[in-house]
Structure formats: C-alpha cells, structure tokens
Amino acid sequence: METNPLPLPLILFVFSLLFSALDSSDSKSSPLLYDCDQCHRTKERDVSTTRSRDEKDVGIIATYSDSASGHVRLARLKMRDLSDSWIWENPTHQYQKTSREFMESFQTESNPNHSTDEHYPEQSRVQIPRSSSMTMTPMKIKRRVMRQDRRKARAAELTREDKENDDHIVSAAIEHTEGFDTTIKGKYGIWRREYENPNSDSTLKLMQDQIIMAKAYANIAKSKNKTVLYEALIKHSRDSQQAIGEASSDTELHLGALDRAKAMGHVLSIAKDQLYDCLLVSRKLRAMLQSTEDKVNIQKKRSAFLIQLAAKTVPRPLHCLPLQLAANYYLQGYHKKGNLDKEKIEDPSLYHYAIFSDNVLAASVVVNSTVQNAKEPEKHVFHIVTDKLNFAAMRMWFLINPPSKATIEVQNVDDFKWLNSSYCSVLRQLESARIKEYYFKANHPSSLSVGSDNLKYRNPKYLSMLNHLRFYLPEVYPKLNRILFLDDDIVVQRDLTPLWSIDLKGMVNGAVETCKESFHRFDKYLNFSNPLISNNFSPEACGWAFGMNMFDLKEWKKRNITGIYHRWQDMNEDRTLWKLGTLPPGLITFYNLTYPLDRGWHVLGLGYDPALNLTEIENGAVIHYNGNYKPWLNLAVSKYKSYWSRYVMFDNPYLRVCNLSE
C-alpha cells in the first residue's frame, strides 16, 4: 500500500537536524546518530516481509537546505536510514551503481570538516541552485562536479602562468633598470638560479653590460670634472675586462669575476646617484653605438682586403715546389722526352678531361682523385694546360708521378699560336692600357676604400688567359666530341664515366644549377639596368656553376658558341654589362643552352661556406672549393681540408723538401 510522501519543508527540517549533528561530530561518536541508527535497523527487521530490496543496502543521494548559506547541499544515506513511508521508484542496478560510485567519490566534499582545499573550504563544497536541485540526476550532478574541478584546475594553471609572467617581467625590469645596486642583486639571483646550467653565461653578460655603462658614465664624469669618480670607473672597468679576458662563457671566467661584478655594481650605483640623467645617458650610449658600428665596418673592410691578399699570395711551400721540379726537369733531361700515347690523346671514344691550371699540387689532386675513383682508369685521358712559367714543373711532376694506367698530356698555353689579340677579344682587352691602369696604377684608390665585392675582381687570375681558355675548347681539342671541364680546386669522389652517357637534349653545356629561391640568379651577375642585358635575358634565370661541366663540342661548333662569346665580350669592353670574370660571360654565352645536371654531381661552397651539410659533401661526386678558402691555404676551413689532403702524396720527396705536410 502506497503512503503519501511527507511534505518537503518537513523533510528539509529533518535532514537539517541530521546533518547539523554530522557537522558537529563524527557519526560513530554521536549518541544521537547512534540511537537513530539502531532505531532504523530495528524497523528494517520488522518490515523485512513487506519491503523488497537487494541483498546489499542501497546508497541514496539526499538533499538538504543550509540555513546559513541558503544553498541546497548533498549527502549520502542508506536505504536503512529511511522510514517505511519512502518508496523506491527506479531500483535498477545501473542506477544504484552510479549513485554509489558518485557518493563514494564525493564523500569528502559533502563534509565541511574534511575539505579537500584548506585554503578555499567553501569552494570544496558542491553548490547547486535551489531551483534545479529537485530535477537533477546523479549523473548530471557528477558532470557538474567534474566541470567545477576542471575550472579550478584551469584557474590554478592560469594563476601559476601569471606568476611566472610577473617574475619574468620583474627580472627583465631588474636587468634593464638604471639602479645598478638592484641590478647586481637581481642579476646575482638570476646567476644563482642558472648556475647549474653549464650553458648559462649570465655573469659574463652582466660584466660586459657593466663595462659599457662604466664607459658611458666615465665620459659624463670627465665632462663634469668628477675626477675621483672617473678614475674609479676606469679602474673597475679595466679590472672587469681583465677578469673577463678571453672568456666566452661563465665557466671560463676567473674565480674572482663575480666579486669584480659586485664591486663594479657598487661604483655604478654611486655614478648613477651623481650623474644619471636619462637624456644625457641615452645620447652617450647612442654615440658609443655609432662609434662601435663605424669601427666594425672598418674592420670588415680590412678583413676583406686581407683575405683577398692571402688568397692571391702563393705560400712559400707552393712556390718552392715548382722551382724544385723545374730545376730537375732540365738538369735531368726530362725536357727531351716527348708526350706518350698520342693515339689515346686524340681518341674520341675515351673519357677526356680538360684542366687549366698553374698550380702543380692542385692539378695533381684533381688527377689523383679522379683516377683512384675510376672503374677503368686506363680509359681516362687528362689534358692539362698551364702557362710558360709552370710548364716545366707541371710536366716534370706527372712524368715522375704518373697516375695508374691513365694518360696525361701537359701543354703550354703560349704554344697556341692561334690564340692572339686579333682573334681573341678578351686577350685584346687584357692587353689594353685601360685594364692595366685598373690593376696597376700607383695612385689608384686604396682597396680599403672600395667595397669587398670589387676586391675579388682585382685578383691576377682575371688577367690570365688560362682563365678564359674554357671558351675555346673546340679549338684546343678539335678531334674530340665531348670533354669534361674540371677546375683545379675540385676533388673527385666518385666514378665520373656516367656523365659521358647523359643525353644533353641538344644543349651544349651540362652543369649543376646554383639558384635557390632568389640566390644566384642572373641579376646577381649581370647589369640589368643596361638595355642590352634587360632586353635579352631574364633576371630570374637560374645560374649554374663552372668547375665541372660536360661540353658537347660537336654541338658547340654547330651553334658557333665561341662567336657568341666574342660578340658579347666586344660589347663589354668598358665593363658596363658585367665585371671581370668568366662566369657572367659564361651565363650569357650558354643562355638557354645549358642542361641541368643532378645536384649530387657537383657540391659547391667548400671555399667560403663553413656551414655546409657534411653528408651532402660526402655523397657528392665532385666537391668544389670555390671561394677564397682554398684547401692548400691556411685560410681553408679545417673540417673540409681532409677531403682534399687525402689525395696529396705527402711522402713525395719534393713535398718533403718544400715542407709540405698535413
């Protein structure tokens, strides 16, 4: 028989009494609750025949009104705690399980004496609006509790981030403040926190900043006749500089460096009290900055000039080697021997190389590296052309050090009688008074007064016909169909014979392109303000590299490439289309006639870029030391030098006599 439920006010009143007792003491120690529990258990046994329930007692969520706060709160009850007038309307197992799990997880939050947050006890209780408490299910309540937990966690995270940001702002303010006593304290604190990090250089940076400010205040003190303060600033600045020495990190500082920093901070604090004026200090720092920039620019120009000078200067061992070889060439009668294997020299079915060089050691590395990596060295023929000064030495070297099975031909460029000023435009220009004045005039403006871009064009190699002989390959080798041109600053690391089987698609020149995005395109080399250039070429056309080029000599003759080269050289007699060099006229001459080879065939930059990918270098078929840092100079990038030196015969007696060693 169903009984009418008790009125809601009466229920709330009863539970208010019940939970007032729960709030005041533990349930096991309260006589009221103990008696109530016994009473309910007796009733439960009496009505067991009229009431059906599960073997396990059922957990119930009860709500009650808190008279103090006005909020409706939750608590846990058991089925046994209720009178017989209560009816269970939905006794499903899932509902019981959900309610029980929820109340077990929520037990601490319903008891204000066991708050999970000691600092915010009111926030640890779940507060539910009175209007919605009667319609919310346990799952909704649980989701609300989880949302509140997430909000509290997010609030704690934001609070932590705000605190970190505040600490960062305070540290930055301390670092840049003009109060140097505070700066020292703040910096010292930062230094203590960062000391465990071996990469931290806060003390070094602090001392460097102090020296800058000391110089600024010293200038102000001198202008205001504060001699004592001026001398103190100069003295502490000198002491701090000595403490820093050559250090590049905190670990390299002297032991007393931090004490010097503290002493300097004290002096700077005094200087700030006596001399500080915002506008005056800012003007002084700005003047110091401008002066430093001017000094840096001067040093850059000097550095560029000295690098160019070092690149043009022949080291003593390299000067000794050709002298020793040339002397023995004539003394030992090698000049009477003729070239061998003349049939191979003109056989178009073999693999032919052209090397134009006046550097005996460099040419030997090119030949040695190519032969050592060739699968069939007996099929490789090297045509080396040098000048009159180095011809005897070059020929002597390869006569006494012949490469395994390969064929070597050494020629003197002065023996090419067809190469004269009446036929060759560039030779006529090189002999002109204007070029001689450009290079040799005594009162020419100092090299330091011109940009570093112009300095490289004053290299004597631009006066050598060896540098321009690459535009006359069909005339030099009239019986060959294809030839691979190699610079003397390259190293071969792979067999190059597959290059002869590449189809150039009717092009004359096979080369590796060097443009990446806007880098090394035509506008870098040619003067596009001149209509002769802008009307005939695209500034976005991709540049390519001399140094390893496969030339189709049959196609060369058909297209009259040498004639195109002569025509453009004549138009550039006043050097308005491009500056000196061979790459700009090469780009023009082989415009739309160049077939791009795979980049793996030719890796460039080892003579100027110290940040190249070493894996790319090791995998490259040919690596090129283009630039000023040649591998035979002290300027060479040390980590690249081993790729070149492994092909140098350091045990050769001529190299030992001239003190050439690794």
pLDDT tens digits, one per residue of 88-104: 554 444 444 444 444 44
Q: Does residue 390 carry a pLDDT above 90?
A: yes
Tell me how far apart the alpha carbons of residues 60 and 103 are, in angstroms, rounded to a whole number: 8
Cβ 247 vs Cβ 253: under 8 Å: yes
Q: Which residue has the higher pLDDT, 619 or 78?
A: 619
Q: Which residue has the higher pLDDT, 348 or 120?
A: 348
Average pLDDT in the 539-552 region? 93
Q: Does residue 169 carry a pLDDT above 90?
A: no
Q: Does residue 77 carry a pLDDT above 70?
A: no
Listed residue (159, 66, 79) closest to 110, CA to CA: 66
Report the pLDDT value the prediction gives residue 480, as an integer from 0 to 100.
95
Tell me how far apart the alpha carbons of residues 265 and 103 are, in angstroms, rounded to a whole number: 62
pLDDT tens digits along 401-418: 998 889 999 999 999 999
Confidence tier at 511 by pLDDT (50, 70, 90): very high
Cβ 99 vs Cβ 138: under 8 Å: yes
Confidence tier at 575 by pLDDT (50, 70, 90): confident
Listed residue (233, 251, 239, 238) closest to 191, CA to CA: 251
Cβ 652 vs Cβ 621: under 8 Å: no
Signed CA dihedral, 618, 619, 625, 629: sign only: negative
pTM for this predicted structure = 0.61
Cβ 58 vs Cβ 78: under 8 Å: yes
Q: Which two tokens stand for residue 645?
A: 């030196």
Report the pLDDT value the prediction gives residue 612, as an integer from 0 to 100.
92
pLDDT tens digits along 246-285: 888 888 887 788 888 889 899 999 988 888 888 888 888 8
Q: State the burial class of residue 453 (Cβ atoms within 10 Å of its Cβ: 0-12, 13-18, 19+).
A: exposed
pLDDT tens digits along 11-44: 555 555 555 544 444 444 444 333 444 444 444 4
Q: Does residue 369 carry a pLDDT above 90?
A: yes
φ/ψ of residue 519, rounded to 5: -90, 135
Tell me how far apart the alpha carbons of residues 637 and 95 are, in angstroms, rounded to a whole number: 77
> Secondary structure of the chain: what % helix, strand, coil (to 5)?
55, 10, 35
Signed CA dihedral, 604, 609, 615, 618: sign only: positive
Taking CA atoms, 536 is separated from 47, 510, 526, 568, 590, in Å, by 110, 22, 11, 12, 13
Taking CA atoms, 625 is separated from 218, 443, 460, 553, 640, in Å, by 49, 34, 18, 26, 9
Tell me how far apart the alpha carbons of residues 427 and 464 are, in angstroms, rounded to a whole number: 9
Tell me how far apart the alpha carbons of residues 417 and 420 are, in angstroms, rounded to a whole number: 7
Domains of the chain, earliest start first: 202-310 (no CATH), 318-412+457-658 (3.90.550.10)
Confidence tier at 481 by pLDDT (50, 70, 90): very high
pLDDT tens digits along 303-353: 877 887 777 778 888 899 999 999 999 999 888 877 667 788 999 999 999
Confidence tier at 64 by pLDDT (50, 70, 90): low
Average pLDDT in the 184-193 region? 38
Cβ 141 vs Cβ 74: under 8 Å: yes
Confidence tier at 519 by pLDDT (50, 70, 90): low
Report the pLDDT value the prediction gives residue 497, as an integer from 0 to 100.
96
Q: Does residue 78 carry a pLDDT above 60?
A: yes
Average pLDDT in the 63-82 region? 57
Q: Which two tokens stand for residue 456?
A: 């490289």
Listed residue (601, 565, 605, 558) closest to 586, CA to CA: 565
Confidence tier at 587 by pLDDT (50, 70, 90): very high
Average pLDDT in the 159-182 region? 52
- First-to-final CA distance of the chain: 110
Report the pLDDT value the prediction gives residue 313, as an integer from 0 to 100.
78
- Provide the residue type at 382 as one letter: F
Q: Which residue has the higher pLDDT, 646 or 154?
A: 646
Half-sphere exposure of 155 (CA within 13 A, CB side): 8
Average pLDDT in the 586-614 region? 94
Listed residue (73, 58, 85) closest to 19, CA to CA: 73
Average pLDDT in the 558-573 region? 93
φ/ψ of residue 465, rounded to 5: -70, -20
Report the pLDDT value the prediction gives residue 471, as an integer from 0 to 100.
95
Report the pLDDT value the prediction gives residue 526, as an integer from 0 to 100.
92
Report the pLDDT value the prediction gives residue 464, as an integer from 0 to 100.
76
DSSP assignment of 615-642: HHHHH-SEEE--SS--TTSTTS-HHHHH
Q: What is the mean pLDDT of the chain?
A: 77
Q: Does residue 641 carry a pLDDT above 90?
A: yes
Angle formed at CA 283 by CA 278 and CA 285, multiple of 5 degrees: 95
- Of the segments 108-122, 497-511, 520-534, which one has the largest average pLDDT value? 497-511
pLDDT tens digits along 415-469: 999 988 888 888 887 777 666 666 655 444 444 444 444 555 555 566 678 888 9
Confidence tier at 127 by pLDDT (50, 70, 90): very low
Listed residue (612, 614, 563) closest to 585, CA to CA: 563
Supply the DSSP symbol for 595.
E
Q: Which two tokens stand for residue 491?
A: 């190293």
Signed CA dihedral, 584, 588, 590, 593: sign only: positive
